[in-house]
């Protein structure tokens, strides 16, 4: 079957989604990231792996973590980095996404990191560029956020070592979450035996069970004995017409507080991709607790993004 992420030699040429990645490829990315993690702890945080290459961050949607960690990752690999300011670019004069990308290719850019509010945007761009250009999906609509899925898997492996004995709960706005989709696929591929989703019916896609998850509407039941809790942000910007109670009511019914965290295993970790809405999906006491690995997720994201760029550029096999 045609896999748009692979080149004609079967190597990873673009990173567009977790679907289509083999378990071996995911493990290769995680192992490569592990070797890059140490670079961030050195005095001189740089290696020459992408020297002479140009990485363009093209974000049509806002970002703090993904954009900056891609920039740091590219700089640690010694690439030149361009951050296109989409708001002040010629997009405002009607230039198409493809024309913008093609102009940057004419400036000899090699790797594009693209975030767009439309699902499929990165796939569309990847299908229109030459094979020597690499496209990384940094989040497309509610479809996919593959490097978030990979850095979350890296984080779980760091704290829990073995994927094949874990219970993982993903809590909140599953319907609008590209992070949830990428994580469900990654955890299934990596052999996690029990992935739970916990949400009100209005925030769950139809037939979500078909993705291999157990559905819980009651958070107290869903959190029982889990090893990992992934909290998700309520995505107000994608809430077109969805009926939700007030933020206070949502926090009461689905927010993660200390009493609910105590239902999970004693050594459970708490994750959140950010940005967090404190007091809406997560209590500050939990977000800042010893069990929270929310900031380590960000640090690990740099190593994972270094690994992805090095592998795409053929500098790490
Ligand atoms: N996790 C994540 O995608 O955060 P940003 O929107 O800040 O990039």
Secondary structure of the chain in HEC code, one letter for each residue: CCCCCECCCCCECCECCCCCCCHHHHHHHHHHHHHHHHHHHCCCCCCCCCCCCEEEEEECCCCCHHHHHHHHHHHHCCCEEEEECHHHCHHHHCCCHHHHHHHHHHCCCCEEEEEECCCCHHHHHHCCCCCCCEEEEEEECCCECHHHHHHHHHHHHHHHCCHHHCEEEEECCCCCCHHHHHHHHHHHHCCCCEEEEECCHHHCCCCHHHHCCEEECCHHHHCCCCCEEEECCCCHHHCCCCCCCCHHHHHHHHCECHHHHCCCCCCCEEECCCCCCECCCECHHHHCCCCECHHHHHHHHHHHHHHHHHHHCCCCC
Q: Is 20 in the pocket of ligand 1 (CB under 6 A)?
A: no
157 is in an annotated binding site: no
Q: Is 63 in the pocket of ligand 1 (CB under 6 A)?
A: yes
Write the residue with the smallest CA distance to atom 6 of ligand 1: 63
Q: Is 65 in the pocket of ligand 1 (CB under 6 A)?
A: yes
pLDDT given at position 242: 64
Handedness of CA 249, 253, 259, 265 (dihedral sign): negative
Q: Which tens digit of pLDDT belongs to each residue from 21-56?
A: 999 999 999 999 999 999 999 999 999 999 999 999
The phi and psi torsions of 231 (rounded to 5 degrees) equal -90, 145
pTM confidence score: 0.96
Q: How far is the CA of 297 from the centre of ligand 1 (A)?
A: 11
pLDDT given at position 239: 60
pLDDT given at position 10: 87
Report mean pLDDT in 10-residue bins for the chain, 317 residues: 88 96 97 96 96 97 97 98 92 93 96 97 96 97 97 98 96 96 98 98 95 98 98 77 77 97 98 96 98 98 98 83
pLDDT given at position 241: 60
Q: How far is the CA of 71 from the centre of ligand 1 (A)?
A: 13
Residues 293 and 91 sit within 8 Å (Cβ to Cβ): no
Domains, the chain, ranges and CATH?
23-143+301-312 (3.40.50.1370), 146-297 (3.40.50.1370)
Q: Which two tokens stand for residue 257?
A: 């507080």
pLDDT given at position 315: 74
């Amino acid at each position: 079957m045609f896999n748009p992420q692979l080149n004609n030699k079967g190597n990873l040429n673009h990173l567009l989604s977790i679907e289509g990645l083999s378990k071996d490829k995911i493990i290769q990315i995680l192992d490569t990231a592990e070797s890059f993690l140490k670079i961030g702890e050195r005095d001189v945080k740089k290696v020459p792996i992408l020297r002479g290459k140009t990485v363009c961050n093209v974000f049509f949607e806002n970002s703090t973590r993904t954009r900056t960690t891609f920039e740091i990752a590219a700089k640690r690999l010694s690439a030149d980095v361009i951050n296109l300011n989409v708001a002040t670019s010629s997009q405002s004069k009607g230039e198409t996404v493809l024309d913008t990308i093609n102009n940057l290719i004419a400036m000899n850019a090699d790797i594009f990191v693209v975030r767009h509010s439309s699902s499929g945007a990165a796939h569309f761009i990847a299908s229109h560029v030459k094979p020597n250009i690499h496209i990384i999906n940094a989040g497309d609509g509610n479809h996919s956020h593959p490097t978030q899925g990979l850095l979350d898997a890296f984080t779980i492996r760091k704290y829990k070592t073995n994927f094949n004995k874990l219970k993982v709960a993903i809590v909140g706005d599953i319907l609008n979450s590209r992070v949830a989709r990428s994580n469900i696929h990654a955890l299934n591929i990596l052999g996690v035996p029990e992935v739970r989703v916990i949400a009100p019916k209005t925030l769950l896609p139809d037939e979500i069970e078909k993705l291999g998850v157990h559905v819980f509407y009651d958070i107290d039941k869903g959190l029982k004995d889990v090893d990992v809790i992934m909290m998700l942000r309520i995505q107000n910007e994608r809430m077109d017409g969805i009926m939700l109670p007030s933020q206070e009511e949502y926090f009461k019914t689905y927010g993660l507080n200390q009493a609910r965290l105590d239902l999970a295993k004693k050594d459970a970790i708490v994750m959140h991709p950010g940005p967090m809405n404190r007091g809406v999906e997560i209590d500050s006491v939990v977000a800042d607790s010893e069990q929270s690995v929310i900031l380590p997720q960000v640090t690990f994201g740099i190593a994972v993004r270094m690994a992805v760029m090095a592998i795409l550029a053929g500098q790490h096999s």
